[in-house]
Amino acid sequence: MTGREARAAIRERSWTGPTERLAPDYVQANLAVVPRAFAADLADLCARNPVPCPLVEAPLAPGAFVPRCAPDADLRTDLGRYRVWRDGALVAQPADVRELWDADLVAFLIGCSFTFDHALARAGLTPRHYALERNVPMYRTRVPLAPAGALRGPMVVSMRPYRAAEIERVRAVTRPFRVAHGEPVAWGDPGALGIADLTRPDYGDPPLLEPDDVPVFWGCGVTPQSVIVASRLPFAITHEPGHMFVTDLVHEDLRLPVEVG
Amino acid sequence: MTGREARAAIRERSWTGPTERLAPDYVQANLAVVPRAFAADLADLCARNPVPCPLVEAPLAPGAFVPRCAPDADLRTDLGRYRVWRDGALVAQPADVRELWDADLVAFLIGCSFTFDHALARAGLTPRHYALERNVPMYRTRVPLAPAGALRGPMVVSMRPYRAAEIERVRAVTRPFRVAHGEPVAWGDPGALGIADLTRPDYGDPPLLEPDDVPVFWGCGVTPQSVIVASRLPFAITHEPGHMFVTDLVHEDLRLPVEVG
């Protein structure tokens, strides 16, 4: 399935679940939509925290809902489920946000680790949630973001369990996907990130853990949702975690080389 | 004094102290020099952690010691004091590193908060260490950097005490200096960053604290030194904290506008 076909399936409600295995060659993105008054702060927050909040493209113009990475898409209808936030609280989870959209809103598309799960699978390192067709578990950490103006909050991470001997290969496979969070931010001790209980994720499905598992954590594009809460934004729209925007970009578009002199 | 005049004074040993008030209109930089085998990892670490590790310019070519930001300078002689590291341990603090430099070394210049201290002073928010002609206090935190390949370590921060009522103005003045760490990463509770005792900085001079002080923390370009230790790099050269490289760039060159759609 292509990105365009995936968006059509979502828009027509023939696909209503998480987008993980849909259009596996295409880049998926987190959505965060904020009032224009907070757009410069969110742009700065993303620039200062590029591992959890890598921008897939520059923020859209105020009011715009057609992104450059999918010129025939509509960000108001082409995600399976949305979250609506008022004063930092989740108030609704609709499947369409056309009635809420207005000229004052600025949309941000932020990279998603679903983008590299297919590459992990092809390398013989299939993430367990991917093999089991579950949503990835995600956790709010106690690692503070670098704040930006009115915006602050903790980093959110996704977790995939691996055997210790696999971790360096997992790092190498995911590292080039810098716009999809790149290599892990931590592995081993969840307590070092302030995660108290791996079996109770804050978003997504609980992990099915096995005895020799080492939890491996990546920056997660749900992070702006922790910022919306911590900063008590008066209004915001986001995607429902796991229900991503599927773009027309392919994975190779994100495999930026590392620059070095 | 210009950047060029400051470098001449340092090279001739007529100036041997911290560079804080030297050439106050010019951008100052932290130095980190690593073997070519670690250069791609350090470039990636800087890209993933731009608040503590903002690059003033792209890493130099292997072996090169003349930066683009000061075309008549020599990075081997134009800093007041250096640190030499072997296997993650500090082994020497020479005033010249010409004999240690070879074609395998790659130099990185990273922004420094000294660059905005003059702007704070002009805004009536003179940092106390600046007024007292002391070195700024710096602390290793427990905030983990996003790792990159072989490199990992905790963020280092600098600290300036302010009254609570001044903090939003201090944030606004420093925010545009994004290549000099920008606005603070935290203020208030040192324990939230894992700093146990403000009176005992890991680098620089102890702060002179007053009863109503709120500690304000900025990302610090000494961070690569914590990475050299934590990652046990076989060899590295850095500046001595506070003894910076003074460039030919002026402050306005770093005041990047925040992009927003």
Domain of A196 in residue numbering reads as 3-251
One DSSP character per residue, A118-173 reads HHHHHTT---HHHHTT-PPPEEEEEEEPPPBTTB--EEEEEEEEE-GGGHHHHHHH
pLDDT of residue A56: 95
Indicate whether A261 pLDDT > 70. Answer: no
Q: What is the rounded average pLDDT of the residues A9-23?
A: 93
Question: Does the interface predicted TM-score (ipTM) exceed 0.90?
Answer: yes
Q: What is the rounded average pLDDT of the residues A34-41?
A: 97
Indicate whether B255 pLDDT > 80. Answer: no
Q: Which residues of A78-100 are buried (b: 16+ CB within 10 A; e: fewer)?
A: bbbbbbbbeebeeeeeeeebeee
**Residue B219 forms part of a structural domain:** yes
Q: Which of A43, A49, A143 sits opposite B144 (nearest CB)?
A: A143
Indicate whether A197 pLDDT > 90. Answer: yes
**Residue B70 forms part of a structural domain:** yes
- C-alpha closest to that of B248 among B9, B26, B23, B22: B26
Q: Which of A50, A60, A61 sits opposite B50 (nearest CB)?
A: A50
To the nearest whole number, what is the mean pLDDT of chain B? Answer: 95
pLDDT of residue A252: 82
**Residue B201 forms part of a structural domain:** yes
Q: Residues of chain B whose C-beta is under 8 A from some C-beta in A? A: 39-40, 43-44, 47-51, 58-62, 64, 106, 143-144, 146-149, 171, 175, 178, 182-186, 192-193, 219, 258-261
**Residue B259 forms part of a structural domain:** no
CB contact under 8 A, A149 and B106: no
Indicate whether A258 pLDDT > 80. Answer: no
The domain tally of chain B equals 1
How far away is chain A from the Cα of B217, in angstroms, using its nearest Cα?
11
Indicate whether A135 pLDDT > 80. Answer: yes
pLDDT of residue A256: 62
Chain A interface, best mutation among B46, B48, B218, by max A CB count within 10 A:
B48
**Residue B260 forms part of a structural domain:** no
Residues of B in contact with A62 (CB under 8 A): 261
**Residue B31 forms part of a structural domain:** yes
pLDDT of residue B257: 53
**Residue A47 forms part of a structural domain:** yes
Q: Which of B39, B183, B261 sits opposite A59 (nearest CB)?
A: B261
The pLDDT tens digits for A45-71 are: 999 999 999 999 999 999 999 999 999
The full length of chain B comes to 261
Residue A212: give its domain's CATH number: 3.30.2040.10
**Residue A258 forms part of a structural domain:** no
Q: What number of other Cβ atoms are within 10 A of residue B73's Cβ?
A: 22
pLDDT of residue B14: 94
Instruction: Give the whole-number percent of chain B exceeding pLDDT 90.
Output: 93
Within chain B, residue ranges assigned H as helices are 3-11, 39-48, 114-122, 128-131, 167-174, 223-230
CB contact under 8 A, B186 and A144: yes
Written in H, E and C, the secondary structure of B141-193 is EEEECCCECCECCEEEEEEEEECHHHHHHHHHHHCCEHHHCCCCCEECCHHHH
pLDDT of residue B256: 62
Residue in chain A lying closest to B170 (CA): A149
